[in-house]
Amino acid sequence: MAPRSQRRRHKKPPSLVAPVVVTPPKVVTPVPLTLSKPGPSIDALGFFSLEDNVPGLPQLILQKLNMKSYEEYKLVIDGGTPTSGFGFRCLQEMFQKMEDTFRFCAQCRVLPSGLSDSRVLRYCKRCRNVYYCGPECQRSDWPAHKRVCQVLRLVAVDRLMEWLLVTGDLVPPSGPWPWPAEVVQGWDTWFSMRGLQLDTTLNAVLCSHAMTTLWASVRQPRPGSDVLQGSLKRLLTDALSRPLTLGLGLQSLRIDVGKAGGSTVHVVGASHVETFLTRPGDYDELSYMFPGHLGLRVIMVGVDVATGFSQSTSTSPLEPGTVQLSSHKGLYHDFWEEQVETGNVAHPDLVVGFHPGFHSSPDLMEAWLPTLLLLRDYKIPTLLTIYSHQELAASLQILVDLDMHITAYGANPFTSLKPEQVYSNPNKQPVYCNAYYIMFLGSSCQL
């Protein structure tokens, strides 16, 4: 380990070229105009950008959630009790208010409050996803919208079907893999491997009372079974993308998961996306991917991890075949000094960052720089995931400027297949979680 005094100094990377990606969260997220500087929180920076693209949208979202401030929303996400009238009286009200937060003209960005009584926002009849204040705006927007209309139709269905993940009515099929991990090269082979078990799972959900209740509550015609089944499969890939991408890192970087006492993975920059709705069994797919492992300890570290998520960071040996999830709220380089260097937490065999976003903001880059230099100087095998090819190019340039030894990068075979709409810019090409990866180990030159 290189002492901090020996770490090389680097000028800040050149101008960050790609914009921050804002994706629609499972629970619609509010943000007030009066928020103070968000610091190293990618969630808060994403919330800020809503106001830039659609003036007034943050206040509309707050109103629909019956909340007074972004801080109150964060309190709820962190497991606290809101002080205002947050909540919904019934499912119909919840789905209606969620849909109301998407109601603004995709062309002129006007909100319902900016329209006269005689004018209303109407959605595109093809995708049921974007809204217009009148025929003129819809005609003007068509050249941009036609490129994404078909995929936005999938987004609209998935946005509602995600409720089944929240309620626990959609649970990924589980159990030992009948095929070796090296044979499962992506979702096509994963779907084939799960075969009959997957069909049974999907059919049970399609015929469930929860599915009937969902579509009775959204006041929309229920799509056909093929459309709903396609949505369920996309949602399964979204739920399993993170653990299988983590497994890809273990496999590609040749981490020994058979070492005595178990192996440790640190997830850096973790937020409520990785922790808020994560259940203890969500990473069990790693046990099926590596049936001979002697224990896997996964520690989520980030300023936005949900407070209610497990805080256990025990260093005691794990039982073979078990996966232990835990978290630590804070910056990773502080966590390293306070927990890893003191021996309270095991040294990582692998570090993974899901969508770090340091390319998108000088504030985020400043917060990430100590962590990136630490990972480089301690020669820790690291995997980062990226949303788009543009972000991939920008992130690679930053890492090269930091003398990182890039060992591999490219398209992720376990990317989520669920398209993510850019919330306040609906006609921007949707992105996919964990679409690309970058792996690095140490520096490209010797200290």
What are the pLDDT digits (tens) for 74-89? 666 565 666 656 666 6
- Tens of pLDDT, residue by residue over 372-423, are 999 999 999 999 999 999 999 999 999 999 999 999 999 999 999 999 988 7
CB–CB of 31/51 below 8 Å? yes
CB of 54 closer than 8 Å to CB of 16: no
User: pLDDT band at 219, cuts 50/70/90?
Assistant: confident
- CA-wise closest residue to 167 among 311, 26, 23: 26
Q: How confident is the model at residue 116 (pLDDT cuts 50, 70, 90)?
A: confident
More confident residue, 99 or 46: 99
Residue 80 pLDDT: 60
Tally DSSP H helices, then E strands, for the chain: 15, 9
374: helix, coil or strand?
helix
Q: Which of 9-18, 147-156, 351-360 has the lowest mean pLDDT?
A: 9-18
Residues near 249 by Cβ (< 8 Å), separated by ≥ 6? 255, 265, 350, 352, 381, 383, 437, 439
pLDDT in tens, 29-72: 333 334 344 445 656 666 556 666 777 776 776 666 767 676 66
pLDDT exceeds cutoff 50 at 9: no
Q: How far apart are CA 269 and CA 334, in angstroms?
A: 12
Beta carbons of 31 and 424 less than 8 angstroms apart: no
Report the range out of 16-30, 259-273, 398-412 with the highest average pLDDT.
Answer: 398-412
pLDDT for 107 equals 92
Where does the pLDDT of residue 120 fall: very low under 50, low under 70, confident under 90, or very high at 90 and above?
Answer: confident
Beta bridge pairs of residue 411: 436
Report angle CA 387, 391, 396 to the nearest 5 degrees: 120
Nearest to 413 by CA among 429, 431, 432, 398: 432
Identify the helix (H) or strand (E) that includes residue 131. strand 131-132
Confidence band (pLDDT; 50, 70, 90) for 27?
Answer: very low
- Classified by CATH at the fold level, domain 246-443 comes out as Rossmann fold (3.40.50)
Q: Which of 148, 234, 150, 142 is nearest to 429 (CA)?
A: 148
Instruction: Pinpoint the residues of the chain covered by CATH 3.40.50.
Output: 246-443
- The predicted structure's pLDDT at residue 43: 62
CA angle 330, 335, 339 (to 5 degrees): 140
Q: Which residues pair with 297 in a beta bridge?
A: 264, 324
Helix (H) / strand (E) containing 154: helix 149-161
Q: What pLDDT is stored for residue 82 in this prediction?
A: 61
Cα–Cα distance for residue pair 58/37, rounded to 1 Å: 16
Which amino acid appears at position 234 of this protein?
Answer: R
Q: 6 is written with which tokens? A: 């020996």
**Choice between 316 and 361, residue whose per-residue pLDDT is larger:** 361
**Amino acid occupying residue 97:** K
* pLDDT above 50 for 7: no
pLDDT at position 185 over 60 = yes
Beta pairing partners, 263: 296
Q: How far is CA 127 from CA 107, 123, 153, in A?
A: 16, 8, 4
Supply the pLDDT for residue 50: 67
Residue entry with tokens 């095929």: 179
Angle formed at CA 282 by CA 276 and CA 286, multiple of 5 degrees: 135
- pLDDT score, position 105: 92
Average model confidence (pLDDT) across the chain:
83
Which residues neighbour 195 within 8 Å (Cβ) at sequence distance 6 or greater?
A: none
Name the H helices within 54-134. Answer: 57-64, 70-77, 91-100
The pLDDT value given to residue 52: 65
pLDDT band at 157 (very low <50, low <70, confident <90, very high): very high
What digits encode the pLDDT tens for the residues 279-324?
Answer: 767 899 999 999 989 999 999 999 888 777 765 556 677 889 999 9
Distance CA 432, CA 437 (A): 12
pLDDT at residue 24 is higher than 60? no
Tell whether the model's pLDDT for residue 265 goes beyond 90. Answer: yes
| pLDDT bracket for residue 14 (50, 70, 90) | very low
What is the C-alpha separation between 128 and 153, in angstroms, rounded? 6
Q: Flag whether pLDDT at 204 surpasses 50.
A: yes
Check residue 22 and give its pLDDT: 31
417-442 tens-digit pLDDT: 999 988 778 899 999 999 999 999 99
For the four alpha carbons of 391, 394, 399 and 400, in that order, the dihedral sign comes to: positive
**What's the token pair of residue 412?**
């992720």
- H or E, element range at 52: helix 42-53
Residue 247, pLDDT above cutoff 80: yes
* Among 260, 259, 321, residue whose Cα is nearest residue 289: 321
CB atoms within 10 A of CB 263: 23
Give this prediction's pTM: 0.82
Which of 107, 108, 109, 103 is closest to 122 using CA atoms? 103
> b/e string for 203-230 if b means 16 or more Cβ within 10 A?
eebeeeeebeebbebbeeeebeeeebbb
* Model confidence at 2: pLDDT above 70: no
